């Protein structure tokens, strides 16, 4: 048998090839993964891993067929834009149903995580409260979070958190702090079906509503991955 002495970059390349080969074998013969959380993005962030998204700021095709196709996306979450694109809840609902029908994902989750950019500016408390009905309609489709764009005041963020939480969430509630959540319970019936859990379990999900919903800037000056890493990780 001939022995070859491999040094430097060649050795590193060989190790990389061997590692990739072992991953390929595992992907073919391994047992399907069992997700620890409904939301893949939160699962990775809690492990200290980066997360990657897909999506277009020109809008997502809101249809059952597109959702079914996107169910096998490579990304850790899907950014669904309704900030610059039309506010179409019916299309979003059909898309979420398509994701559920096309699942489970490659990681064993029922659907990819979906974060929706809603066309509400977080410039002040009054603006957010006046438009909070949009958050409720979007969450009822079964999405995993909302990104409040251009959140610039504490009052706006406070109003946003209260709008997306159910009244049974008590963390941070008290005089001079948060008021109780204002989200109505009726949307749980449709959202829970997308998540694959019961209405009661959906309503019990902890902290800021159901998943990632903390307000953050939506601007070119800050990366969305770093923003999501600062968000609530309780679902």
pLDDT tens for residues 131-165?
A: 999 999 999 999 999 999 999 999 999 999 999 99
pLDDT at 32: 52
On whether the CB atoms of residues 75 and 102 are closer than 8 A, the answer is no
Helix (H, G, I), strand (E, B) or coil at 53: strand
Mean pLDDT, the chain, as a whole number? 79
Q: Which residues contact 187 (CB under 8 A, 6 or more apart)?
A: 136, 137, 139, 140
Question: Pick from 80, 217, 220, 81: which is nearest to 150 by CA?
Answer: 217
Residue 100 has pLDDT above 80, yes or no: yes
* Distance from the first to the final alpha carbon of the chain: 55
Average confidence (pLDDT) over 203-231: 43
Q: Are strands 113-121 and 77-82 parallel, antiparallel or unpaired?
A: parallel
Look at the domain 33-228 and name its fold.
TIM Barrel (3.20.20)
Take residue 146 and report the two structure tokens written for it.
């909302």
pLDDT at 188: 93
On whether the CB atoms of residues 67 and 96 are closer than 8 A, the answer is yes
Residue 31 has pLDDT above 80, yes or no: no
Instruction: Give CA–CA dist 113/76, Å, rounded.
Output: 7
Take residue 37 and report the two structure tokens written for it.
């959380």
Take residue 176 and report the two structure tokens written for it.
């001079």
Pairwise pLDDT comparison (231 vs 162), residue with the higher score: 162
Threshold 0.85, pTM exceeds: no
Question: To which residue do tokens 């963390």 refer?
Answer: 171
Phi, psi of 33 (to 5 degrees): -70, 150
């Amino acid at each position: 048998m001939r022995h070859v002495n491999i040094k430097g970059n060649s050795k590193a390349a060989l190790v990389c090839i061997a590692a990739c080969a072992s991953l390929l074998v595992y992907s073919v013969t391994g047992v399907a993964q069992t997700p620890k959380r409904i939301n893949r993005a939160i699962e990775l962030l809690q492990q200290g891993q980066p997360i990657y998204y897909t999506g277009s700021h020109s809008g997502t095709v809101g249809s059952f067929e597109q959702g079914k196709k996107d169910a096998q996306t490579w990304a850790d979450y899907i950014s669904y834009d309704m900030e610059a694109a039309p506010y179409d809840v019916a299309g979003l609902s059909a898309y979420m149903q398509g994701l559920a029908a096309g699942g489970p994902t490659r990681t064993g989750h029922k659907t990819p995580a979906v974060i929706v950019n809603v066309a509400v500016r977080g410039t002040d408390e009054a603006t957010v409260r006046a438009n909070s009905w949009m958050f409720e309609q979007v969450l009822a489709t079964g999405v995993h979070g909302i990104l409040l764009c251009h959140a610039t005041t504490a009052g706006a963020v406070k109003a946003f958190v209260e709008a997306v939480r159910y009244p049974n969430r008590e963390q941070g509630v008290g005089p001079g702090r948060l008021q109780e959540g204002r989200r109505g319970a009726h949307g749980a019936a449709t959202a829970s079906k997308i998540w694959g859990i019961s209405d009661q379990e959906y309503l019990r999900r902890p902290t800021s509503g159901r998943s990632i919903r903390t307000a953050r800037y939506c601007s070119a000056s800050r990366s969305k991955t770093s923003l999501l890493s600062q968000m609530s990780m309780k679902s």
